[in-house]
């Protein structure tokens, strides 16, 4: 089976060093690669935004940025991509800090050879993939496959940091499954789990891939989406309720799926926990309103 082609982004301002690194890679015929070069951090960030490479070699001395800031800014643009830091001189302190910041390796350019470079690229990709697998296991809800509370909070905070820097507001939606206790008591916990899985599937269908959806625990879910505006909030609510209604109409279940919602705007990561609590309170208002309407309708029917 042929070896896959490795997509490499080289962030290197010095043309002679860049040429030398490319020659090292070409001398290792077993390594099939496609390389793109960025001459500075700004150009590198544009490359990373347009499509992630398999691995990045980044010099910590660029024309438009210097030191560990280069690594931090590049990683912020593509957090799931493995980075290897390059330096013109041996510096144990700088190497330790780069590794603590998430670099998979720290290489001194004058000490590099073809075999060592190829091995470093291969190991960096393998380590990053293993770390991502372990991280995903700790951030995913086993029942629904959505993010768990820890995963949702972590990703939402990252999203809000970027959004607040760009001056963009987001919308937080708190979702509570109605009558889950009744479903568990009447039909068993296996059916209750199935109801939660059904709701998770409808949430995936309702929201975009770029939105963050999580199960906070029990019958509570949350979604964070880029701010669609007031009209957009109404449309999102209508779309979700319409999907649930359609699911109920096409189902042979002995119960109806139903949710209560609380929707708030949110500006930054420092607001996240407070706004989750606020959305939770709004959700309970929605739930109480529905219960009051149901009880009133039942009472009117009894009077007729």
**Do 105 and 162 fall into the same domain?**
no
Q: What's the mean pLDDT in 270-281?
A: 92
Q: How confident is the model at residue 14 (pLDDT cuts 50, 70, 90)?
A: very high
Rounded to two decimals, the pTM is: 0.57
Of the three residues 136, 164, 195, the one that is the final residue of a domain is 136
What confidence tens digit (pLDDT) does each residue in 188-204 have? 999 999 999 999 999 99
Q: Give the 3-state DSSP-derived string for 214-273, with helices as H, strands as E and coil as C.
A: EEEECCEEEEEEECCHHHHHHHHHHHHHHHHHHHHHCCCCCCCCCEEEEEEEECCHHHHH
Q: State the pLDDT at residue 180.
A: 95
In this prediction, residue 292 carries a pLDDT of 62
Residue 67 lies in a domain: yes
Domains of the chain: total: 2
CA distances from 187 to 192, 193, 215, 291 (A): 8, 11, 22, 22
In this predicted structure, the answer to whether residue 294 has a pLDDT above a threshold of 70 is: no
For the chain, give the mean pLDDT.
87
Q: What is the pLDDT averaged over residues 78-88?
A: 92
**Mean pLDDT computed over 251-266:** 92
> Looking at residues 51-71, what average pLDDT do you find?
91
- 296 has pLDDT over 60: no
Which of these three, 89, 109, 136, is where a domain ends?
A: 136
Which run of H or of E encompasses 15?
A: helix 15-27
pLDDT of residue 231 exceeding 50: no
pLDDT exceeds 90 at position 31 = no
Q: Of 93, 115, 136, which one is at a domain's C-terminal end?
A: 136
Q: Sorting pLDDT into bands at 50, 70 and 90, what band is 290?
A: confident
Read off the pLDDT of residues 105-142 as tens digits, 9 standing for 90 and up.
Answer: 999 999 999 989 988 998 999 888 887 776 777 888 98
155, 117: one domain: no
CATH number of the domain bearing residue 44 = 3.40.50.2300
**41 shares its domain with 111:** yes
Residues 199 and 233 in one domain: yes
255 and 183 part of one domain? yes
- Looking at the fold, whether 214 and 153 belong to one and the same domain comes out as yes
> Do 171 and 71 share a structural domain?
no
Same domain, 172 and 104: no
Backbone angles phi, psi at 126, to 5 degrees: -65, -45
143 is a domain residue? no
In a domain, 14, yes or no: yes
Residue 141 lies in a domain: no
pLDDT band at 230 (very low <50, low <70, confident <90, very high): very low
Range of the domain at 245: 149-303
């Amino acid at each position: 089976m042929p070896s896959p082609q490795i997509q490499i982004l080289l962030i290197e301002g010095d043309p002679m060093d860049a040429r030398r690194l490319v020659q090292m890679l070409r001398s290792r015929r077993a390594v099939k690669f496609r390389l793109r070069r960025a001459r500075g951090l700004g150009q590198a960030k544009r490359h990373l935004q347009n499509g992630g490479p398999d691995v990045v070699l980044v010099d910590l001395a660029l024309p438009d940025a210097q030191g560990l800031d280069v690594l931090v800014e590049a990683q912020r643009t593509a957090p799931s991509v493995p980075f290897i830091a390059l330096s013109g001189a041996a510096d144990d302190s700088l190497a330790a800090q780069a590794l603590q910041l998430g670099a998979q390796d720290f290489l001194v350019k004058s000490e590099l050879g073809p075999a060592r470079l190829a091995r470093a690229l291969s190991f960096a990709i393998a380590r990053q993939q293993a770390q991502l697998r372990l991280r995903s296991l700790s951030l995913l809800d086993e029942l629904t496959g959505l993010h768990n509370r820890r995963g949702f909070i972590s990703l939402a905070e990252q999203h809000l940091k970027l959004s607040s820097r760009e001056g963009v507001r987001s919308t937080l939606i708190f979702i509570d499954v109605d009558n889950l206790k009744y479903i568990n008591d009447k039909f068993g916990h296996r059916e209750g789990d199935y109801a939660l899985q059904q709701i998770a599937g409808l949430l995936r269908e309702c929201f975009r891939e770029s939105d963050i959806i999580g199960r906070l625990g029990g019958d509570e879910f949350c979604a964070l989406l880029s701010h669609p505006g007031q009209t957009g909030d109404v449309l999102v609510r209508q779309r979700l309720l319409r999907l649930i209604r359609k699911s109920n109409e096409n189902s042979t279940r002995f119960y109806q799926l139903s949710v209560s919602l609380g929707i708030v705007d949110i500006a930054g990561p420092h607001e996240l926990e407070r706004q989750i609590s606020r959305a939770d309170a709004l959700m309970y208002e929605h739930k109480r309103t529905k219960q009051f309407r149901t009880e009133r309708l039942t009472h009117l029917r009894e009077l007729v």
